[in-house]
Amino acid sequence: MKVAQFSTSVAKLQGAMDNLQRAWLETSQHWEDATSDSLQRVHLEPLLKELKEIIESTVPMAEGLTQASRVCGPQSQHNEY
């Protein structure tokens, strides 16, 4: 996977998470009962927490991929084998 593809995928995931949060905020303004509370507590909050952790964990991965592509990429001076 190229660094740009990785970054694009992470950006799409962030956008999807943002869309979900906005949609839930709008929905929760009109739907306030035990079922909506349960949906938020049981499904949405854990999902959003995991997505945030995944997105945050991609920062060092992206940095590593960028560094590796610089060192090992086709323009690298280290590929003289």
pTM, entire model: 0.74
Q: Give CA torsion, residues 26, 36, 13, 46, to 10 deg.
A: 140
What average pLDDT does the chain have? 87
Domain residues of the chain, as ranges?
Answer: 3-59
User: H or E stretch including 69?
Assistant: helix 45-72
Per residue in 54-76, pLDDT (tens digit) is 999 988 888 888 888 888 877 65
79 falls in which pLDDT band (50, 70, 90)?
A: very low
